[in-house]
Amino acid sequence: MASPNTEASGSSRLDVKPVATETVQASAPKDVAAPDKPRPARTRPQRPNYFLIHSKPLPLETHPLPAFVPQNPLSLLRIAYIYLSQLISAPSSHPDVPITGIFSSETRSVHITDQKSIRALWEMGFFGKGTLSRSEPSWLDREKARLKASKHGGGTAEENTRKRREERKLFKLERARLEAEQIEETLRKERAALEAKKEVKDEEKATEIAISHVFPWMQQESANAEFTEETQAVPAETAETKEPATNIVDVPILETGTTIHTTGIPPSTVPAETPLSTDVEAPITNQEHLQLNLEESFFLCYALGALTILDPSTSQPIPPPSLLTLFRRHSHFPTASPSSLRPDDPFLLNYIVYHHYRSLGWVVRPGVKFSCDFLLYNRGPVFSHAEFALLILPEYEEGSVEAEQGKGKMGWWWLHCVNRVQSQVKKSLVIVYVKVPKVLPVGEDIGEVLRSYEVREFVIRRWLANRSRD
């Protein structure tokens, strides 16, 4: 058995050794003469803090109660005080200046022109789309960057990409033209050589025939001489065929001082360029506005109460019941009459699904680019790509006329095509069945209308044999 002193000494050695090593490394003198390595220059601009910009999921102000700390009993009194003060005078969740939009029957959407409202709707929930942008309304920033880059002799990323593509296209066209000219020149030289060779052979044959008739004894000597010439000409012809053509295009040499006008306009008629003043910058008018689709507009107006939609003819707010009828009519093409509306209108089916996933915390965006109805984002398009693609199918009750006609049923070929598209873009396909009632409730209670629908969802993934092996 080892003695206690031995164990103590062993443990002390194990404990002291790393501490001593760290002390030596820390106390080691630094090489003062060694120059500091320069930091690499930042090539890309610093990305904005999206977590701070998009911290609010909806364009509403929330007033939560403070957290309860069990170790601090005074926190319970603070919670009770704030709760009672909010009961007495409840703070408003909506902004002081309401967000207003104008309904457009031509585009079947709602337009927002106020810049503060545009930023609020995009930063708080990713609602809408810029009319001059792919998604985020950033036309004004891109235009300022383009003008600033052109003033300093550069260009934006889009312009540089377009310029490189044009240069590459012109280079390929010029290369194809030079190759065609080279092939044509080679064929012309080969045809000329063959014709000259054929003429020489014809002359030699005519001479041989004449000599054979006059001097038959010289036929054998001429045959031997022809054999010797052919044997000597074989290496020369082989070398000629193997030698690459170095002259592609004959470029004419112009004399000094010669000017070529490519546009056909004499230089005297071309106006001189006026230098731009770099001191004064002309203000840029923002020509972009936000465009909300029908589902987003109705959700902001009815579910959140954060949007007021105006009638373009009267400039008066449209109440939600009238807005529901208006959107149902414009979901058909051409616009349907109020008497022809049915429970399976496209707007009702789309809005049921949109409202369902928005209430669950998903960011719902249009998915026409990926052959689906909607895309589901976990937090938003600036954080990650969409994870799910939604396809909406109506589900009718058994015995109804629509069910007997097979309305809403799609074939297997269609399903495989759509699923293949989603698997290529790395998204999971979700089939959303919306159970359609036979008759809608009568009245202006929109909540009762929405509660008459049911939503069922199925996630479909493409089966791959090499991923499912044991």
Sheet with 428-435, side-by-side order of all strands: 363-366, 374-377, 388-395, 428-435, 454-460
* pLDDT classification of 201: cutoffs 50, 70, 90: confident
The CA-based dihedral angle spanning residues 103, 105, 111, 113, taken in that order and rounded to the nearest 10 degrees: -90
**Which region holds residue 168: left if phi is over 0, alpha if psi is between -120 and 50, else beta?**
alpha
pTM over 0.75: no
What are phi and psi for residue 211, nearest 5 degrees?
Answer: -65, -40
* Per-residue pLDDT band at 203 (split at 50, 70, 90): confident
Q: Is residue 134 very low, low, confident or very high in pLDDT (cuts 50, 70, 90)? A: confident
Question: Is the domain defined by 94-137+290-318 classed in CATH 3.40.1170.20?
Answer: yes
Q: Which of 186-200, 226-240, 451-465 reaches the highest mean pLDDT?
A: 186-200
**Considering Cα of 160, then 165, then 167, then 168, what sign does the dihedral take?**
positive
Between 252 and 285, residue with greater pLDDT: 285
Report pLDDT for 261: 45
Q: Which residue has the higher pLDDT, 115 or 207?
A: 115
Average pLDDT over residues 144-159: 70
Which has the minimum average pLDDT: 235-239, 290-294, 431-435? 235-239
pLDDT digits (tens, 9 = 90+) for 424-464: 898 999 999 999 998 898 888 899 999 999 999 999 876 66
User: Which of 383, 375, 390, 394 is CA-nearest to residue 435?
Assistant: 394
pLDDT > 70 fraction of the chain, expressed in percent and rounded:
72
Instruction: Supply the CATH classification number for the domain 342-467.
Output: 3.40.1350.10
Q: Are strands 307-310 and 363-366 parallel, antiparallel or unpaired?
A: unpaired
Side-chain half-sphere exposure of 203, counting CA atoms within 13 A: 6
pLDDT at 470: 56
14-65: pLDDT as tens digits:
344 444 444 444 444 555 555 566 777 666 667 789 999 999 999 988 888 8
**Closest to 312 measured CA to CA, from 116, 101, 97:** 101
Nearest-5° Cα angle at 404, 401 to 406: 110
Residue 258 pLDDT > 80, yes or no?
no
Q: What is the mean pLDDT of the chain?
A: 79
pLDDT band at 105 (very low <50, low <70, confident <90, very high): very high
Q: In the chain, where are the structural domains located?
A: 94-137+290-318, 138-242+281-287, 342-467
User: Tokens for 360?
Assistant: 């669950």
Q: Which residues are catalytic?
A: 377, 385, 427
